[in-house]
Every structure is written in C-alpha cells, then in structure tokens.
Amino acid sequence: MAHAIWSGTINFGLVTIPIQLFTAIRSNELRFHYLHDRDGGRLSNVRVCETCGKPVEWEHVVRGFEYEKGQHVVLTDDDFKRVDVEATQSIDIMEFVESTEIDPMLFETPYYLVPEKKGRHAYALLRDVLGKSTKVGIARVVIRTREHLAAVRPRENALLLELMHFADELASSAEFDFPAKTEKASAGEVKSATMLVDAMTAKFDPAAFKDTYREELMALIEARAHGQQVKKRVTKPRRPTNVIDLRDMLDESLAQTRKQRRKVPKRTRVA
C-alpha cells in the first residue's frame, strides 16, 4: 500500500475528522540520467560561481531574490523561519461554494483523504452530504511549509483534496493575442463544424486513451538495450488550413469520421 505523505484533520465548523493524505496521481514519466558520451559515466551537478569561475561548496551557498537585473536581496534561514506559515496539521474548510463557480484552471493536484478509524462516520457524513449537493469545501492547508488553497470534494466512496492555484498565479488571457468575438465564421462553416463535432462526440472513457509517446520510447529503449535497431518513423507536418478551403476540409473530415465510425464502433484513442 502507498505511504501517507501527510497526516492531520479535516475541520468544518466544530467537526474534526482525522485523516491521512495520499497522492491520487501515479506518474509514468520516464526519468533519465545524464552520462558522459565517451565512457558512460554519470554526471554530477557542480555549483560554479559565474563571477570567480570556481566551484562552490554547500556551506557557502545562500539564497537570493533578484529584485532588479543583477541585484539580489540575500535571505538567511532565520528570514524564512520568520515568515514561515504555521503547520497546523489541519485542513480548515472556510466555506462551501458551488463547484460551477470555480475556474477549472485553478485546480492543480488531487489527493485522496483517507479517514482514520475513529473518523470514518463523520467522514462518510461529509462525503455523502457533499455528494448530494453540487458544492465543494474551500480550505486552507499547510503542506511541507507552504500554505495552499484547496477544494474538498467527493469522488465515489472517497473525499478528494485538490490543491489549487491562488488567483494571482493564473496568467491573464489579456496578455495574449486571441481572435476577437467579432471575428465570425460563415453560416456554412458553422454548420459543417457543428456537424463534425456531433459526429466526433462520444462517451468519455479515460481508459481508452494511451500515452503512445511513452510506449514507443520504452519500446525503443528495450530494443536498444538488446542491441536491436529501431526504424525511424517518418511523419509529415500538417499544414494550417487556409480560410479559403476551411469549409471543404470540414466536410471532408465529417465524411471520414462517419466512415471510420461505421467501421470501428469503439476504438482506443491516443493521448
């Protein structure tokens, strides 16, 4: 069984529920070591000062914040302790809100909240009450010396804690150049695009999507480890669709989609 990364309580009103926090994500990311191409030896990180060009031992490393180009304010361990948030070992629900009011971009990382034996009844009560509503609990929690905004929500038999970004951490869409609302498509384009969307609509099944990049990379690693050669896959980059032939491309896509759906009722999709 996985190990709990944090133990504490869920608090709402005067109710306290002892829980343990478990990660809800299993990362499949492949990790690599940097090697010397001549002899295959692993490389270690060396801290080199860009001013004197000499290696620096850890005892002489300090942390500095660059407030202007090339100008730093140095902070000591005591400075960090002075503003360190209090680790209360609790998930304090401050309010309940409608889940539809939360921008999905605010959600970051999900964790399972697993109750201790003496907290199972209260845990089930909170889970079931939230499950019958469309509300989530908005909480504050300190994990590894950092304070997080978080949402407590039900999922099947469990309660999830979803760490959230603070509002000022999201980049504003005003920073980018998007098409204006006045940039309208023709009625024919809208009709064809709508029909294509309808034809491509399916019931979402996350298990149907596979990480083909990881699978192909692992196959390459396996082959290379056994001295086998791997054929290079040739792919042609797709060119952007011109405005002139957009309607034709939509209609052709619709025809191909309908043909594929008739041949294959259910297919595995790639991520």
Query: In sequence order, what DSSP letters do the residues of 77-128 get, joined into one string?
Result: HHHHHHTPPP---EEEEEEEEEGGGS-GGGEEEEEEEEE-GGGHHHHHHHHH
Question: Which of 109, 164, 127 minimizes the C-alpha distance to 10?
Answer: 127
List beta partners, residue 48: 55
| Cβ 111 vs Cβ 161: under 8 Å | yes
Question: Which of 70, 84, 188, 206 minimizes the C-alpha distance to 145?
Answer: 84
* Domain ranges across the chain: 6-27+84-169, 187-270
Angle between helices 187-200 and 246-263 (to 10 degrees): 20
- In this prediction the pTM is 0.68
Please tell me the predicted confidence (pLDDT) of residue 197. 85
Q: Select 6-27+84-169's CATH number: 1.20.120.1200, 2.40.290.10, 2.40.50.140, 3.30.1330.10.
A: 2.40.290.10
Please tell me the predicted confidence (pLDDT) of residue 132. 95
pLDDT digits (tens, 9 = 90+) for 96-114: 999 999 999 999 999 999 9
Instruction: Label residues 34-43 b or e (16+ Cβ within 10 Å = b).
Output: eeeeeeeeee
Q: CA–CA distance from 140 to each of 99, 147, 182 (Å)?
A: 17, 7, 41
Residue bearing tokens 């010397």: 36
Please tell me the predicted confidence (pLDDT) of residue 238. 61
Residue bearing tokens 């001013």: 51
Please tell me the predicted confidence (pLDDT) of residue 264. 63
Residues counted in the chain: 271
CB atoms within 10 A of CB 160: 18
Quickly count helices (H) and strands (E) in the chain.
5, 11
Please tell me the predicted confidence (pLDDT) of residue 151. 95
Please tell me the predicted confidence (pLDDT) of residue 76. 81
Please tell me the predicted confidence (pLDDT) of residue 114. 93
Q: For residue 138, which phi and psi values (nearest 5 degrees)?
A: -100, 125
Q: CA–CA distance from 259 to each of 201, 202, 236, 253, 263 (Å)?
A: 14, 15, 23, 10, 6
Question: Which of 10, 3, 27 minimizes the C-alpha distance to 161?
Answer: 10
Identity of the amino acid at 135? K
Distance of alpha carbon 172 from alpha carbon 227, whole angstroms: 50
- pLDDT by position in tens, the chain (length 271): 578 888 889 888 888 889 888 888 777 777 878 787 888 888 888 888 888 888 888 888 888 888 788 888 888 877 777 765 566 688 989 999 999 999 999 999 999 999 999 999 999 999 999 999 999 999 998 887 688 899 999 999 999 999 999 998 888 888 888 888 888 888 888 888 888 888 888 888 888 878 777 877 778 778 877 878 777 776 666 666 665 677 787 888 888 888 887 776 555 455 4
Q: Quick one: tokens of 169? A: 């951490």
